[in-house]
Amino acid sequence: MQDTIVRRDHYLSMLRDFKDEPLVKIITGIRRCGKSTLMEMFVSDLKESGVPEKNIIHMNFEDDENSHITDSDTLLKEVKSKVELKKGTYLLFDEVQDIIGWEKAVNSMRYSGADVYITGSNAKLLVSDFSTYISGRYVEIEMYPLSFREYVKFFDEKENKDQLLIDYMFTGGLPYVASERRNERNTDMILSAIFNTVFVKDVVERNDIRDVPALRNITRFVMKNIGNKTSTRSAAAYIVSKGGRISPPTVDAYLDHLVSAYLIYRAEKYDLKKKEHLRTSNKFYVSDLGIGNNVIGYADEDLSGMIENIVFMELLFRGKKVSVGNINGNEIDFIVMNKGEREYYQVTTEMFSPDVKERETKPLKMVKDNFPKTIITLQRYPSKNIDGIKVVALADFLLEDIQ
């Protein structure tokens, strides 16, 4: 196993920006994406900046040594026994969602002047009683598996970037998995264990799911259909084909649970003519392709969806709000909209076939504005521009400098 630890500067800079602000800093994301390690890095940065070690409390509630802390009163009592709650005190709590009433304790600590940071592996951390106690007094930083730029930093600079991209495509970007990249057996076992932990703890148990086989089939169905339009009716029909029974509303609820656990992400379709999102035309992407490939296996016909998945997650990593575009029945893979500005992206394996070139450029040419339009290709294309549309290789897109 490789001992390389890559600094997640993308996220550390956000934490530094909000340091000492009277807001609870909440880092969310799928289990094992690096939240706890990020906390450790931030603790090191605090110490290097001159914060006395006695003023820093870092507790991970997945550690057995903290198993006695099960509710807000015990948590508050434990912290007060170790440090005085005041300005200049830094409190960091990992995987806090299983502490009963944690939001009461965290709000009390924040109110005392302490600077509080927490992590959680379920989006429902931010709803329910949380909104009552800390509404308007927190900032959420969503963390993803390693971007390709971060992934490359794990390895020797001389390694072939195209080969690294292939490995990234198949094994994903979870940091611990990246460290086991050259050991296929270990990688499969780790990915399987991570998926099962997320599936059981953050989906089944948290939502008290009774029909686990149906949920598992829904999960497989969505992961197999990355980049394809997915309706609740089509998913329900799939369950029936497997011998089960399920209603479309239950399918919708299951999909919401999978999204809340950060196993999958939902991309709504945006109609450029109607200027509205179409809830019934969702696409789904898996948070980590390594997990997806481990659950459903790989087939050659999945390649297009896989590179589309990589681009979607990269855009999220860059802080973009991403939708799937529709213009007169023609699909644009991704539209990024922010404050009146837009970016348009098409993703394809290649551009050499005249039919493919026509298919990918047609929707972009139909958009009559001057915002950036880009086609991202797995195979490098000799031209960098087609009628004003930028063409870039996937590896180059993922490694380009971002603001």
Alpha helical stretches, state H, 261-302: 289-296
Q: In terms of domains, do 223 and 287 share one?
A: yes
The reported pLDDT for the residue numbered 2 is 46
Alpha carbons 44 and 49: distance in angstroms, whole number: 9
342 in helix, strand or coil? strand
The reported pLDDT for the residue numbered 307 is 97
Domain endpoint, select from 142, 161, 181: 142
* Block mean pLDDT (10 aa), the chain, length 403: 74 97 95 96 97 97 95 97 97 92 92 96 75 80 96 84 93 91 84 97 95 95 92 89 90 95 95 83 93 93 95 97 94 93 97 96 95 97 95 96 63
Q: Is 3 inside any structural domain?
A: no
Q: In terms of domains, do 196 and 138 share one?
A: no
For residue 283, what are the β-bridge partners? 229, 267
Q: In terms of domains, do 44 and 178 share one?
A: no
Q: In terms of domains, do 284 and 332 share one?
A: yes
Q: In terms of domains, do 163 and 38 share one?
A: no
Q: In terms of domains, do 254 and 211 share one?
A: yes
Q: In terms of domains, do 291 and 336 share one?
A: yes
| Other residues' Cβ atoms within 10 Å of the Cβ of residue 385 | 10
Tell me if 219 sits within 8 A of 202, measured CB to CB.
no
Q: Please state the domain count of the chain.
A: 2
Q: Is 4 inside any structural domain?
A: no
Domain endpoint, select from 119, 142, 165: 142
Joined tokens for residue 172: 């994903």
Q: Is 264 inside any structural domain?
A: yes
Domain ranges, residue 164: 148-399
Q: In terms of domains, do 48 and 34 share one?
A: yes
Q: In terms of domains, do 170 and 194 share one?
A: yes
Q: Is 83 inside any structural domain?
A: yes
Q: Is 1 inside any structural domain?
A: no
The reported pLDDT for the residue numbered 136 is 79
Q: Is 108 inside any structural domain?
A: yes
Global confidence as pTM? 0.94
- Side chain identity at residue 385, one-letter code: N
Q: Is 223 inside any structural domain?
A: yes
Q: In terms of domains, do 241 and 117 share one?
A: no
Domain endpoint, select from 97, 127, 142: 142
Long-range contacts (CB closer than 8 Å, 24 or more residues apart) made by 347-350: 347/304, 347/307, 347/308, 347/311, 347/375, 347/376, 347/394, 348/304, 348/375, 348/376, 348/377, 348/378, 349/303, 349/304, 349/307, 349/377, 349/378, 349/379, 350/377, 350/378, 350/379, 350/381
Task: Report the CATH number at residue 76.
Answer: 3.40.50.300
Joined tokens for residue 352: 């050499």
Q: Is 2 inside any structural domain?
A: no
C-alpha count within 13 angstroms, C-beta hemisphere, residue 108: 13
Alpha carbons 335 and 325: distance in angstroms, whole number: 6
Q: In terms of domains, do 351 and 393 share one?
A: yes
C-alpha count within 13 angstroms, C-beta hemisphere, residue 20: 5
Q: In terms of domains, do 384 and 342 share one?
A: yes
